[in-house]
Each structure stands twice: as structure tokens, then as C-alpha cells.
């Protein structure tokens, strides 16, 4: 059985991670909504991103790491142009 310290860390993660994920989705939605010049409802953009995040959660971890690496490289290239 786990020690009480690690059990507490697990429960704190259960409480914290949904807020972190919601903030990431909200920020991404706001940025996309700004790029789209508010032509699409912010709630639709947020819902679409939530569905994409749910679909990505079923992809194996190795593929997600590859996608994340490609995304970071693309963002660095686009930020410096």
C-alpha cells in the first residue's frame, strides 16, 4: 500500500489537473478565436478543442511525444519568422 504522503499527492493531482487542462483549453480557444477574428463562437472553439483533446488522449504515448516534438519545432520556426 502507498504511504499517506503519496496518497495525498495523488488526491492533490486529481484536484489540480482538471483546472490546468481547462486553462490550457481556454487559452488555446481564446487564441484561436482571436485568429479567426471572432467569426466562430468561442464556446464552439472550446468544445472542438475539448473533443480533439479527448481523441488525442487515446493515442499511444510514443506518437503523442512525436506530435508534441513536431509542434514545438513548428512553433519555434513560426515564432522566428
pLDDT at 39: 85
Domain coordinates of the chain in residue numbers? 4-79
Model pLDDT, residue 23: 93
Check if the beta carbon of residue 25 is closer than 8 Å to that of residue 50: yes
pLDDT of residue 38: 82
- What are the residue ranges of helices labelled H in the chain? 4-35, 42-56, 61-79
pTM of the shown model = 0.69
pLDDT at residue 1, rounded to an integer:
53
Q: Go through the chain and tell me how many residues it has.
A: 81
Query: For the chain (length 81 residues), average pLDDT per consecutive 10?
Result: 82 92 92 87 90 92 94 92 76
Q: How many CA atoms lie within 13 A of 7 on its CB side?
A: 4
Amino acid at each position: 500500500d502507498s504511504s499517506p504522503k503519496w496518497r495525498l499527492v495523488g488526491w492533490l493531482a486529481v484536484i489540480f489537473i482538471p483546472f490546468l487542462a481547462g486553462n490550457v483549453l481556454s487559452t488555446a480557444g481564446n487564441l484561436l478565436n482571436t485568429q479567426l477574428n471572432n467569426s466562430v463562437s468561442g464556446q464552439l472553439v472550446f468544445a472542438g478543442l475539448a473533443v480533439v483533446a479527448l481523441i488525442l488522449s487515446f493515442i499511444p504515448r510514443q506518437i503523442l511525444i512525436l506530435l508534441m516534438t513536431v509542434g514545438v519545432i513548428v512553433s519555434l520556426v513560426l515564432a522566428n519568422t
